[in-house]
Structure 1
C-alpha cells in the first residue's frame, strides 16, 4: 500500500505596482495557486484568513508600508438592515434570482462590458475580452455559482454575481450590474440578497472582498451592520470605521516569511493507491 501526500501550497509575492484604491501608494500581494484535489479545503482555510480567489489563485494584500486593505465579511446573525437598505430591497423586489453553474454567456458579457465602460473604464479589467471574461467565470477549481438577477417583465438581465460557496459562507468573487438604474442601488441590493442566500442555507457569513478605508470605491462596505474585517491575525467587528483608517503606515509589517509561517493550512489527508 502506497500513500501519496499532496504538495503543500507554495506562496509567492507579486512585484510592487500602483495601488488601484489609494493614490500614490504601491500594492503587493501574497498569493498561491489553487489546484488539485484539496483545492476546496485550501480555499476554505485561506478564505477564513483573509485571502480572496481570482480564478485559480488565492491572494491577500502584503504591502510593505500600508495595511489599509482589509478582508471583509458580514456576520449574518448580527446584520440588521438600515432604512436605506430596506428601501433598496423594496425597489428591487420585482427582480428574480437564478443560480447556475459557472458558465459564461453572451448576455453576461454584454452587461459586464456596459458596467465596466460606465463605471470602471480606467480600471484593471477595462480591456478584458470575451475569452478572458469566460475564463474569469468558468475557471474555478472549487464550488462556484453564477447568480443572475433578471427583470421578468422586460426579460432583461439586470445583475450578475460570481459567487463561491464556502463551508462557512458565500463569497462574492465579482459582481456587476446595469449602469442604467443608479437609483436602484443594485450593488447594495446584491449584497443584501446574498445575506438572504446565506441565511437560507444556514451559512454564517457573506464574504465581500476588501474594504479600504479612505477609498471612495470601497467605502460602501462599512455601511453594513455586522461587518467584520481580518486584521492582526483574526476577525474583528467594525463598530467604528474611523478606527481602522490609521493603518496606512503600520509601525511594523511582518516579513513575508513570517506571514507565510503564520498561515494555517488544512490537514494534509493522504490518498490510498
Structure 2
C-alpha cells in the first residue's frame, strides 16, 4: 500500500456556489505520478488541473460529486441523438497534447465569449498549457472540424480503463451543433471502441447550473461516501 502525501489548501471563495467556502486536498507536487497511478486516484475522486491532482475537501459542504459514465450501459436521450445526427459529418482528429496556435486562438475566443474575459485579458501560452496538460499523463487534444473549420477541441486523458474529460472549448459560431455535447458523446463512443469501462466527467453539483449538465448522460455514477453509485435523474419523456 502506497501512502499518498496530501496537503490542504487554504479556504477560498467557492467558484461554483455563492456564499460557500472551498478547500482542496492536493497531492504534493514532488510525489511521482504517471498515468497508471492517476488511473487509481481518479477512481477515488481525484481530478487534475495541469500537473496538480486534487479533490474537494470542504469542511461543511459535500456538493461536489465525482462522476463517471459506464459506457457499456450508456443510452443517448433524444436530444443527444439529435446532436449526433447534426454532427454526422463532423471530422474528428486525435492529436498529441502540444501547443497549437489554432487551438490557442480558439481557446482565447471561447474564454472571451463564455466567461466574459475582456479582449485584453492576458492568457499566455504558458498558462494555457499549464492548465490543460501534464508531464506525466497521456493526454489528447481532439479536434472537431465542421466543413473544414476548427469547431471545437476536447482535452482528454487516456487512462488505463477509462477516458477522462478534462476540458472542452469551441467556436461560438457552431453553437447550433452543440459541440460540447457531441464531444462527450464522442468520448463515450471512443471508450466503447477501445473497450474501456468509463468516461469520467468531473464533478457534478446539483445546485450549479454549469456543472449540473452531467446528469444528462445516463446512467451516471457518482462517488458518495466512498462508493460509486447511480445518480438518478428524470429524463425528458420520449415521444
- The answer to whether TM tops 0.5 is yes
Match of 1:214 among 184, 204, 207: 207
Match of 2:47 among 46, 52, 75: 52
| Corresponding residue of 2:189 | 196
- Structure 1 127/232 Cα, relative in aligned 2: closer, same or farther at 3 Å? farther
Deviation per CA, 1:3-56: give whole Å up to 9, x if none.
Answer: xxxx85310111111111111111111111466765223201110011001121
The residue matched to 1:221 in structure 2 has which SS?
Answer: helix
Q: Map residues 113-124 of structure 1 onto 2, 5 A cutoff.
A: 113-121=108-116
- Paired residues, what number? 231
| Corresponding residue of 2:168 | 175
Deviation per CA, 1:46-94: give whole Å up to 9, x if none.
Answer: 1001100112111101111110011111111111000100000011111
Q: Which has the higher contact order (CA 8 A, sep 6+)?
A: 1
| Corresponding residue of 2:237 | none
Question: Does 1:148 pair with 2:146?
Answer: no
The residue matched to 2:127 in structure 1 has which SS?
Answer: helix
| Corresponding residue of 1:80 | 75
- Structure 1 14/115 Cα, relative in aligned 2: closer, same or farther at 3 Å? same
Distance in structure 1 (CA, Å) of the matches to 2:83 and 2:29: 36
Q: Which runs of 5+ in 1 are unaligned?
A: 1-6, 242-273
Provide TM-score, normalisation by structure 2.
Answer: 0.90
Provide TM-score, normalisation by structure 1.
Answer: 0.79
Cα displacement (A) at 1:160: 0.7
Match of 1:184 among 167, 177, 180: 177
CA contact (8 A) 1:30 1:62 kept: yes
| Corresponding residue of 2:226 | 233
The residue matched to 1:217 in structure 2 has which SS?
Answer: helix
CA contact (8 A) 1:69 1:210 kept: yes
Q: Which runs of 5+ in 2 are unaligned?
A: 235-239
| Corresponding residue of 1:163 | 156
Cα displacement (A) at 1:156: 1.4
Cα displacement (A) at 1:176: 0.8
CA contact (8 A) 1:55 1:139 kept: yes
Question: Does 1:12 pair with 2:7?
Answer: yes
Over the aligned positions, Cα root-mean-square deviation in angstroms equals: 2.0
